[in-house]
A = this chain, B = another copy of it.
Amino acid sequence: MQTQAEGSLKRVFRDNALKATPQRLDVLKLLMTSGEHLDAEEIYKRLLKKKKNVSRATIYRTLEVLVEYDFVRKLDFADGRMRYEQNQNPDEHHDHMVCQVCGKVFEFFNPQIEALQEAIAQEINFQMLSHTMHIYGICSACGDSADPVA
C-alpha cells in the first residue's frame, strides 16, 4: 500500500529528475504519520529505531528537498535547531503556540490576523511571500499543575 503523499512524491520527483529513494520515502512517511514537529536528530533516531538505513547527512539533504517541493515545512522555534512538519495542504498554513515548559506545540489559524498581515504589508508596498507567527508561553496543563508535564 502506498500513501497519497508517497505517490505524489514519486510523481513530482520523477518530473524533476530527482529520485524517489527509500530514504526520502522513509522521512516523508515518518513526518506524515507522526504529525509532530520534529528536528533532524529526532527523525534520524526514530528511523534508526525502525531499522531504516539512513545517515544524518541524508536526513538533512532529504528535508531540504522535501521543503523545496512543499511536502514539508521547516519551522524555527528559536531554540537552536530547526523543526519539520508535514505540509499536507500547501495552500493552507497555520501558526504555532509553543509551551516553554513541556515543549508541546499547538496549532492555530486565524483569518483575521492573516488579513491584517496582508493589509500591513500592502501599506508599504511590501510583497509578502511568507510569514511566521509564534506565541511562546505556558500551556494550560503546565500552568494548572504545580507538577507540570508529569
Assess whether B131 is in contact with A131, with CB atoms less than 8 Å apart: no
For A116, give the chain B residue with the smallest CB separation: B113
Extra 4 A-B pairs, beta carbons < 8 Å, given A76-B78, A112-B112, A131-B136:
A126-B137, A129-B136, A131-B133, A131-B135
Assess whether B120 is in contact with A143, with CB atoms less than 8 Å apart: no
State the interface size on chain A (CB cutoff 8 A). Answer: 33
Assess whether B120 is in contact with A108, with CB atoms less than 8 Å apart: yes
Assess whether B113 is in contact with A127, with CB atoms less than 8 Å apart: no
For A99, give the chain B residue with the smallest CB separation: B126
Q: Sample 5 A-B pairs with CB under 8 A, ordered by A number.
A: A99-B126, A108-B120, A126-B135, A130-B136, A131-B136
Residues of B within 8 A of A137 (CB): 121, 126-130
Beyond A78-B76, A132-B133, whether A97 also contacts B110 by CB under 8 A is no
